[in-house]
Structure 1
Amino acid sequence: MHLDVIIGVSKNNKSGACDVNDIEKLGSDPKVVELFKLKKDEVIFDDDSDIFITSGSTGKPKYAVHTHFSVINGVKGMFYYLEGMPNKENRRIILGLNTAHISGEGSGVLSPLVASMTSVFAPPVYNIKQIVQTIQNERCTDVLFLITYLYDMLNFKDIGEYDVTSLDICLTGGSNIPPKLAKDFEEKFACKILIAYASTEMMVPSISSPWDPLEARCSGVRILPNAEIQLVDDDGKCVPLGSNGEIWCRCCSNFQRYMGNDEQTKAAKSPHGWFKTGDLGVFNAAGVLSIVGRKKDMIDRGGIKIFPADIENVLSQHPSIEQVQVIGVPDERLSEEICICLRTKKNAIIEKDQIVSHLTGKVRLEESVPGYVLIFDSFPKSITGKIDRMSLTKQAIDRIQSKVQ
């Protein structure tokens, strides 16, 4: 990759970097304005406009190239949603996500802009206290949060000192949300949880409906007007209604290519324009899509397919468990074994037999007895703040192997 210009946003930019404040001032420079007028007619809608870095949660981060056409149409999907919000001219959206990531720019900057709503920018370095302060001071009505941020806000010990009663909607995504977490957040903050199913490559093709009850909002999303989604088997054929399949998305907001990697681009896109998400989902009769999990995350335990989210959703309701991730680890006899990774609540102690007891009768028998239970102080996170399952799996395997040895 060749870089011509580096733009810094901090007070202590490195030598050779342009300051973002100087870039902003150029907008009123008569010479720059004149140059823009000369150049704007040379730009067409199929030209590259943005390069977004993926979170790296499925491997090394990739550089997804979008065109003016895909970005504008990706914004249009969120615009339809925001445009229908009541009292939209008085809504203030606080962006808890990085604006350099597609969720930040598309959902937090451009969409509110075209919907005539106000965007509020949280401090560039994530800090839940500063975010809560900003919600109070700016009287924010909507927040864009990763699911890990919901945990942080719920457990922020000084939350009672702040007035966050202006909150109305919390739009989140990036991974499955445990039902108990959503319920606790809504009850504590009187704030409705909505789930967006999105990715760097396709932007936001679907979102849960604000008019659905909580259980429906947390378990499924509805397809936006500018998108098509199909569920396919390993041969790329559509699966029957009610069956699990890999989610393929075709929409006018799909990315163009991975920069400098034609092989990955070809593997991710079908000849007919479908983006192969690598996610597993299931449609119900009403056309609501439920996300089952990542295809790569599915655990093959002795030939039985186990979806981590099924176990995670049950364990998240245990009173001693703060956060849970279920992963597969290598096993000589079964191919893969279930490993439950936990963060417990303060001063809580939980044993393996308690976990088995809590799972029994709520999941399938083969899902109720994990091979390993590991306690973590914290989970590793990707550059976008999502839990890094690859790093977590490596840490878990290292801990298991050290005990065996």
Structure 2
Amino acid sequence: MNKFWLQNYPAGVPADVNVDEYRSVTALLEASYEKFKNDNAYVCMGRFLTYGQVDELSSSLAAWLQSQGLKKGDRVAIMLPNLLQFPIAAAAILRAGLIIVNVNPMYTPRELEHQLKDSGAETIFILDSFAPTLVEVIQRTPIKSVILSGAGDMLGAPDGTNDFGLPNATRFNLALAAGRELELQKPDIGPDDIAVLQYTGGTTGVSKGAVLLHKTLVANLLSSEAWTQPGLKRKTLTGQFNMVTAIPLYHVFAFIVCNLLSNRLGALSILIPNPRDLPGMIKTLQGFKINSFPAVNTLFNSLAHDPEFAKLDFSELAVSTGGGMAVQEAVAKKWLEVTGCPISEGYGLTETSAGIASNPTDTDAYTGTIGLPMPGVEIRIIDDNGNDVPAGERGEIAIRGPQVMAGYWQRPDETANVMTPDGFFKSGDIGIMDERGYTRIVDRKKDMILVSGFNVYPNEIEGVVVSHPGVLECAAIGVPDKNTGEAVKVFVVKHDPSLTEADLIEFCKEQLTGYKRPRTIEFRDDLPKSNVGKILRRELRDEVLKTAAQAAE
């Protein structure tokens, strides 16, 4: 395939990376533990852990897991927030030759039951706060043993005593202590062994586990590291490299970038357990210089508008990575104004082990695109028949490279539906690639609004509406309309309390052609979001349809 975009790569970024440099992501992590053993790896609520301590703790916990009868290839779930226990548990699972199953701590009992049954996980690390959810469903899952953890387990707090009636429950610190008396039996872990089952959000049907191999993660980490280097040269960095970890570690974006990549870079990962508590987060960050800030658009937006956040030390902020959703121009502009560091918008999916495209990290320019394919990645824009569309035309983004999953866990039919015969993953995102190789996402297929036969893409509408100074955030959806089939409706959270619907309608008239203009605008105090901060359009759409159905009865 002609990788014509390579001519637009930043200086020093290679076309490919050596995925054979490490046999496994475990080997990569262990190399970092040795190289940076005296440096701090994580900090949470004032407690620091060095790389040497993470090495020792995860080795002990891995040995304990092996002593429980777990064998290579068994699945172990992690249902923890951003606490020190998370990276220790994750590393222990990998070092024992087991497979990580990342679980959203906010799952409902129904969602948790599905993921545990689907993955076949027999062991779970879980915070006490979420144990009642597990209690409701554990009898219908394969779970045989539970490692319970209190929020203060690594902070010197007394161990909890409540086992919630869960079978074969062990406290996290007791497992660590027992493991110190054992010796880890290092398994032979190869590139084609499974490292992680990372579940999709289930927005296109039942939640499925993307099979991420060790070589998949190694490829992504080395590619991401190479892509980051030009940005790191923008500033003169002093002392250890610090990365803010505010997005939840169970999510593929944070798991890869804030956990694994931070280890690869020898960085200090500043764990934020509750990013919704902005004052608390800002207070935590006051004691640190910030070098890297991965986040989603909504978090960038909230922080950039907080006057206390603007007082932090951004003198050495070199890279701000945007992912999970589109970064809006108004947000990028405000972030740059406040921090002096541009947001490098990237793109990836659960099925591609996070980032596979990104804007260069060494420029202030806002492109409105997801950037260029990263090292080792190929991107095509295809039609419904799998054929390449002409340059500049809309089509589905298809991705090939070592970063792409091996398939969906035990779902060969679902895997076949998303893979082309020549190995490209069909993302479900509609994009346009320009002559430089930059791709602009116009939306996901399912979010497209059809107005009188014309395609309307919510991202475009939202980009216009949020550029109004009186708007904090918004979401556009299609609602049924007897005249046009569908019409555009926008939900808005105000930045200026005096903003009216008429103001916004007039504003949109200046920037959007007739069929794209919002027919109705509804003001809300907040918008539904996932735990990662992504606005849930589907939830708003379902609410509107339900209301319409009730009114018709």
Work out whether the TM-score is over 0.5: yes
Q: Deviations over 1:206-247 (max 9, x none)?
A: 11112334322x434111111000001111110111111110
8 Å contact from structure 1 (residues 341, 376) kept in 2: yes
Instruction: Give the structure 1 partner of residue 436 of structure 2.
Output: 286
* SS of aligned partner of 2:404: coil
CA RMSD of superposed structures (Å): 2.5
- State the one-letter code of the partner of 2:379: I
- State the one-letter code of the partner of 2:504: I
User: 1:12-51 maps to which residues of 2 (within 5 A)?
Assistant: 14=164, 15=166, 16-22=168-174, 28-29=180-181, 31-33=182-184, 35-36=185-186, 40-41=187-188, 43-51=189-197
- Shift in Å, 1:264: 2.0
8 Å contact from structure 1 (residues 310, 363) kept in 2: no
Distance 1:76 1:25, change over 3 A: farther
Instruction: Give the structure 2 partner of residue 389 of structure 1.
Output: 537
Equivalent of 1:372 in 520, 524, 528: 520
* SS of aligned partner of 1:94: strand
Q: Does 1:70 align with 2:216?
A: yes
Distance 1:55 1:127, change over 3 A: farther
Q: Deviations over 1:334-385 (max 9, x none)?
A: 222211111112523311x3323212242223212x2322222211122433
Q: Deviations over 1:270-319 (max 9, x none)?
A: 22211111111111111111121112111111110111122111111112
CA distance in 2, matches of 1:80, 1:23: 37
User: Could you list the runs of 5+ residues in structure 2 that have no partner in the other structure?
Assistant: 1-116, 128-148, 151-159
Q: Does 1:233 align with 2:383?
A: yes
User: 1:307-386 maps to which residues of 2 (within 5 A)?
Assistant: 307-351=457-501, 353-368=502-517, 370-386=518-534
* SS of aligned partner of 1:6: strand
CA distance in 1, matches of 2:332, 2:531: 24
8 Å contact from structure 2 (residues 310, 338) kept in 1: no
Instruction: Give the structure 1 partner of residue 266 of structure 2.
Output: 116
Instruction: Give the structure 1 partner of residue 320 of structure 2.
Output: 170
CA distance in 1, matches of 2:388, 2:400: 14
Instruction: Give the structure 1 partner of residue 89 of structure 2.
Output: none
Q: For structure 1, which segment, 223-232 or 20-29, has the greater mean C-alpha deviation from structure 2 after superposition? A: 20-29
Instruction: Give the structure 2 partner of residue 105 of structure 1.
Output: 255
- State the one-letter code of the partner of 1:215: Y
Distance 1:150 1:24, change over 3 A: farther
8 Å contact from structure 2 (residues 476, 537) kept in 1: no
* SS of aligned partner of 1:296: helix
- Shift in Å, 1:83: 3.8
Q: For structure 1, which segment, 166-175 or 315-324, has the greater mean C-alpha deviation from structure 2 after superposition? A: 166-175
Instruction: Give the structure 2 partner of residue 3 of structure 1.
Output: 121
8 Å contact from structure 1 (residues 174, 386) kept in 2: yes
8 Å contact from structure 1 (residues 49, 68) kept in 2: yes
Q: For structure 1, which segment, 205-214 or 88-97, has the greater mean C-alpha deviation from structure 2 after superposition? A: 88-97
* SS of aligned partner of 2:300: helix
8 Å contact from structure 1 (residues 94, 143) kept in 2: yes
CA distance in 2, matches of 1:75, 1:17: 34
Identity percentage of aligned residues:
23
- Between Structure 1 and Structure 2, whose CA radius of gyration is higher? 2
User: 1:47-66 maps to which residues of 2 (within 5 A)?
Assistant: 47-66=193-212
8 Å contact from structure 1 (residues 278, 294) kept in 2: yes
Q: How many residues align?
A: 396
Q: Deviations over 1:178-228 (max 9, x none)?
A: 211110111022222111101111021111112334322x43411111100
- Shift in Å, 1:166: 4.6
Distance 1:59 1:340, change over 3 A: farther
Instruction: Give the structure 2 partner of residue 249 of structure 1.
Output: 399
Distance 1:61 1:136, change over 3 A: farther
- Shift in Å, 1:60: 4.3
Q: Does 1:277 align with 2:423?
A: no
Distance 1:160 1:261, change over 3 A: same
Instruction: Give the structure 2 partner of residue 201 of structure 1.
Output: 351
Q: Deviations over 1:237-275 (max 9, x none)?
A: 101111111100011011122224333222122222111
Equivalent of 1:300 in 428, 446, 450: 450
CA distance in 2, matches of 1:60, 1:131: 34
Instruction: Give the structure 2 partner of residue 184 of structure 1.
Output: 334
Q: Deviations over 1:107-141 (max 9, x none)?
A: 11211222333322222564222322232212221
* SS of aligned partner of 2:287: helix
- State the one-letter code of the partner of 1:371: R
- State the one-letter code of the partner of 2:198: F
CA distance in 2, matches of 1:309, 1:385: 16
- Shift in Å, 1:395: 2.0
* SS of aligned partner of 1:201: helix
Distance 1:371 1:404, change over 3 A: farther
User: Could you list the runs of 5+ residues in structure 1 that have no partner in the other structure?
Assistant: none
* SS of aligned partner of 1:32: coil
Instruction: Give the structure 2 partner of residue 79 of structure 1.
Output: 225
CA distance in 2, matches of 1:153, 1:400: 36
Distance 1:266 1:103, change over 3 A: same
Distance 1:18 1:139, change over 3 A: farther
* SS of aligned partner of 1:114: helix
Q: Deviations over 1:54-113 (max 9, x none)?
A: 234445432212111111111121111234422567321111111122111211121122
* SS of aligned partner of 1:44: coil
8 Å contact from structure 1 (residues 231, 247) kept in 2: yes
Q: TM (normalized to structure 1)?
A: 0.89
CA distance in 2, matches of 1:281, 1:197: 12
